[in-house]
């Protein structure tokens, strides 16, 4: 589900008693704070699929269009740089997403124009609350730009530099639930649903009081555009290196045997001069019929190079490895050649770990005693200590399962029962 609960560390009793009334109230509020709906941030490159989806749907660009990335665009008299300052060279629409090219995204947004770009942002619900059924959802209407007189104040009127930076997810704020919901609309056929946590309400006896049905709010893009986005996002994880040495940015999140799609994100945090980053990864599986979307955000990774999105990709990968089988989604795809060595190493490590596991030794049983098969305890009468050496009869008080069937004729009672084949 596109939500999570973030818990604070606990205070000691002494620290808690030393808190002022205001601090105590703030601490209690923090315990219930949910980063995914209550905190805002600049999304970074995970927002690029939204820009591309809008431009394709509006007809501003077409699949296969190409762009020259020379490392920067001069907008409003200032240079705005691509992450790859030497440039990606010539890339197409798919490549702009696969290689996460800021330069190409700025060119795409310029073709789209400020008014249409702003309209699509609101169609994907940026600047609006999602109204998810959880308390504390943050407002972002004052953290996003608007076209012309639609802006609530002069400082929120979108200008050319805002359009350029917004195209790759900078200079406006979202919540995680906004971003996850918008991304889901990009890959699910183009349908924007109101997000919700509660599926049904039950009474005390388990009867259904109310089913919470999915609520379709709007359809910002067509199924055709959505299908293109799924393919682009698949290539972002699995696509080959191009002739200019550009490589797909989402390969660290791949899981052997699955076809999935996703997008990396790296956003500079304010103030810019502190050089702090928020890194993220958002993805879905399977590619042809998405069943799950997972969004991971790492706020200022505790690492020397914060800007590497591999931190979020590793977390995403580990969660999806567990989630997909749980949802009965199993690997069906061939393992890419460049993953085979990694998979072989993982299998070898698993086999080695399995070989090191030893079964727990059973406690020794005295000769002539009987053992309760349920508890493992020796249950013998008379007690071994008081056995008459001249009397070799021993009785065991062992519980018997009343449901046991009589053995078929010809079977020895001492035969080991066969394991249940269905386990």
> Annotated active-site positions, please?
45
* Contact residues for 270 (Cβ-Cβ < 8 A; gap 6+): 42
Q: How many helices (H) and strands (E) does the chain have?
A: 12, 13
**Dihedral in degrees, nearest 10, Cα atoms 112, 215, 46, 124:** 20
Q: Which runs of consecutive H residues, i.e. helices, occur in 124-208?
A: 160-166, 176-187
Distances (CA, A) of 342 to 281, 308, 319, 335: 21, 21, 18, 10
Q: What secondary structure letter does DSSP report for 271?
A: S
Compute the distance between CA of residue 220 and CA of residue 182 in angstroms, rounded to an integer: 10
Torsion angles phi and psi, residue 195, rounded to 5 = -70, 145
Compute the distance between CA of residue 3 and CA of residue 177 in angstroms, rounded to an integer: 7
The helix (run of H) or strand (run of E) holding residue 110 is: helix 102-112
Task: Please check whether residue 126 is in contact with residue 192, taking contact to mean a CB–CB distance below 8 angstroms.
Answer: no
């Amino acid at each position: 589900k596109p939500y999570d609960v973030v818990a604070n560390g606990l205070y000691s009793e002494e620290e808690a008693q030393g808190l002022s009334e205001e601090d105590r109230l703030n601490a209690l509020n923090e315990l219930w704070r949910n980063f995914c709906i209550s905190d805002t941030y600049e999304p970074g490159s995970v927002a690029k699929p939204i820009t591309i989806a809008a431009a394709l749907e509006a007809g501003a660009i077409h699949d296969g269009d190409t762009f020259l990335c020379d490392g920067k665009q001069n907008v409003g008299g200032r240079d705005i740089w691509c992450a790859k300052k030497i440039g990606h060279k010539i890339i197409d629409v798919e490549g702009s997403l696969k290689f996460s090219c800021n330069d190409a995204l700025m060119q795409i947004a310029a073709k789209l124009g400020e008014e249409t770009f702003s309209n699509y942002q609101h169609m994907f619900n940026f600047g609006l609350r999602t109204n998810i059924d959880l308390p504390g959802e943050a407002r972002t209407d004052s953290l996003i730009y608007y076209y012309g007189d639609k802006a609530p104040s002069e400082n929120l009127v979108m200008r050319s530099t805002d359009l350029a930076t917004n195209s790759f997810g900078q200079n406006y704020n979202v919540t995680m639930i906004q971003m996850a919901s918008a991304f889901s609309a990009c890959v699910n056929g183009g349908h924007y649903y109101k997000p919700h946590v509660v599926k049904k309400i039950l009474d005390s006896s388990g009867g259904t009081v109310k089913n919470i049905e999915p609520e379709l709010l709007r359809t910002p893009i067509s199924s055709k555009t959505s299908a293109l986005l799924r393919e682009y996002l698949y290539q972002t994880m699995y696509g080959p290196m191009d002739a200019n040495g550009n490589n797909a940015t989402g390969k660290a999140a791949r899981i052997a045997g699955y076809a999935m799609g996703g997008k990396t994100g790296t956003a500079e945090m304010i103030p810019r001069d502190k050089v702090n980053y928020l890194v993220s990864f958002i993805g879905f599986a399977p590619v042809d019929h998405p069943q799950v979307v997972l969004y991971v955000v790492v706020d200022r990774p505790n690492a020397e190079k914060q800007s590497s999105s591999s931190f979020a990709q590793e977390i995403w990968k580990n969660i999806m490895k567990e989630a997909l089988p749980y949802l009965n989604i199993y690997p069906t795809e061939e393992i890419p050649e460049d993953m085979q060595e990694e998979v072989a190493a993982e299998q070898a490590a698993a086999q080695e770990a399995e070989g090191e596991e030893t079964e727990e030794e059973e406690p020794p049983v005295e000769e002539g005693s009987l053992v309760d098969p349920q508890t493992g305890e020796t249950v013998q009468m008379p007690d071994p200590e008081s056995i008459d050496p001249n009397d070799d009869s021993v009785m065991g008080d062992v519980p018997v399962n009343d449901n046991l069937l009589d053995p078929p004729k010809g079977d020895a009672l001492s035969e080991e029962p066969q394991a249940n084949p269905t386990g």
